Amino acid sequence: MKEETKIPEKFIRVGTVLYKMVRRPLISGDTIDEKIIWSYEVLRQDYGKNNLPEIEKYDGFCIIPNHINYKNVHGTYLNQYEPINYEPCVGDFINITMFMEHIFEEHIELGYDYLQILYTQPTQMLPILLLVSSERGTGKTTFLRFLKMIFGKNATFNTNDDFKSQFNADWANRLLVLVDELLLDKMEDTEKIKNLSTAGDYKIEAKGKDRREIEFFAKFVLCSNNEKNPIIIPKEEIRFWVRKISTIKQDNISLREQMAKEIPHFLYFLLHRELSTRNESRMWFNPALLQTKALSKIKKYNTNKTEIEIAVYCSDVMERLNQNKLLCCPKDFLDVIRDTGLKTDITQIRNILKDSWGLNSERNGDYTFYFIATEGELLPMKRKGRYIEVTRELVDKILL
């Protein structure tokens, strides 16, 4: 029986901490490189104090993401960002093409742009990508694993609870934060992800350690079986790209393995492909390009019920009058809303019209407000006050 050659052990010191470089076996048969904290006492026990192995020394860690011209060491600092395990080369990627077309459909070129920017410009901010479908077997989770295959340890899976925890050291310095089965139904959770998606710096915190500031460049890719309310997205929000994913017609149980073999060819394609978009916002894409019915559905579900009733009422009156505008004051809607069974007050209505809709009562004078009678008849009511003008265009945007 042939004896296996023993791989020399490697140790490094970063700052004042000693690490042993190891390769942890995986279920798949592969291994993954890791650094584990070691001690000089154990080192001396293993080697003897006069026969210690050579130890590479660094002043500290840095995080410099780069997939094309990766450097493990920057000056006297060790890069914590990991190289990806694929070398781009010419070849076909038929399975990846079919899968990408399934996920992005009419947005396929935008999908290629998204991955191309991730690969070639890892520090560029990108929209929060949310894949939704109430059906099973759509490939949402497979897409997350596909990203994990490409970017390796630079991508990590999070749970909903991870965003609520104060400890974030295990994900705050990654390129991709991947979340399956997303369900964040509180506004503060949404605000945290939104703010992080455009943050340049962020406080990282681990248990038992002081908080420290890092350069933040993570992108969020989320999946959910809830098409209506996986996360709260206000109507004015432009940082989300929501896609509804259809069911895969014919399941391929070997798809992941087939795509893994094609990744070097796919990376070559991304490296040499010309982007179909140009940088038009801080998250690269013009928000108008990312509008989808799936995004509108979530926004509509999260819109204030009183706001929806006011918008529906204005739309109904304008439709009956065959006009494109309606004059009104906040107090005109009090009885209108209360007749629907919703509880409201003049302050809430004023906030909707002025703060949410951006309308100002700059004109003071006579105007006509219309009530819809029980039989559907319009009843004109002469009023006087500081009125505002609601347009059909504005109402249509609110009603999506």
Residue 355 per-residue DSSP state: I
- Copy the structure tokens of residue 372: 């819809």
Helix, coil or strand: residue 279: coil
Please compute the mean of the pLDDT values over residues 375-395 and round it to a whole number: 89
User: Using one digit for the tens of pLDDT, what is the confidence trace for 89-135?
Assistant: 999 999 999 999 999 999 999 999 999 999 999 999 999 999 999 88
User: Using one digit for the tens of pLDDT, what is the confidence trace for 15-67?
Assistant: 999 999 888 887 877 777 888 899 888 888 888 888 888 899 999 989 999 99
Please compute the mean of the pLDDT values over residues 157-166 and round it to a whole number: 75
pLDDT of amino acid 89? 96
AA identity, residue 388: I
From edge to edge, which strands make up the β-sheet containing 325-328? Answer: 325-328, 378-391, 363-372
Closest listed residue to residue 262, CA positions, set 59, 82, 98, 392: 98
Does the pLDDT at position 336 exceed 80?
Answer: yes
DSSP states of 290-334 as a string?
A: G--HHHHHHHHHHS-HHHHHHHHHHHHHHHHHT-SEEEE-GGGHH
Name the residue ranges covered by the structural domains of the chain: 10-58, 94-301, 303-399
Measured torsion, CA atoms of residues 153, 170, 25, 60, in degrees rounded to the nearest 10:
80
CA distance 175 to 156: 8
Average pLDDT, the chain: 87
pLDDT classification of 208: cutoffs 50, 70, 90: low
pLDDT of amino acid 167? 67
**Right CATH for 94-301 from 3.60.15.10, 3.40.50.300, 3.40.630.10, 1.10.1740.10:** 3.40.50.300
Which segments of the chain does DSSP mark as H helices, in order?
40-47, 94-104, 108-120, 140-151, 160-164, 187-197, 255-272, 293-302, 305-321, 333-338, 346-351, 392-399
273 burial via Cβ count (<10 Å: 0-12, 13-18, 19+): middle
What residues contact residue 282 under an 8 Å CB cut-off, 6+ apart? 125, 198
Q: What are phi and psi of 198, to 5 degrees?
A: -120, 15
CA distance 143 to 330: 48
AA identity, residue 124: Q
Q: Which position has the token pair 């989320």?
A: 222
What residues contact residue 278 under an 8 Å CB cut-off, 6+ apart? none
Percentage of residues of the chain with pLDDT beyond 70: 93
CA distance 188 to 151: 29
- Copy the structure tokens of residue 275: 């982007």
Q: How many CA atoms lie within 13 A of 150 on its CB side?
A: 24
CA distance 388 to 384: 12
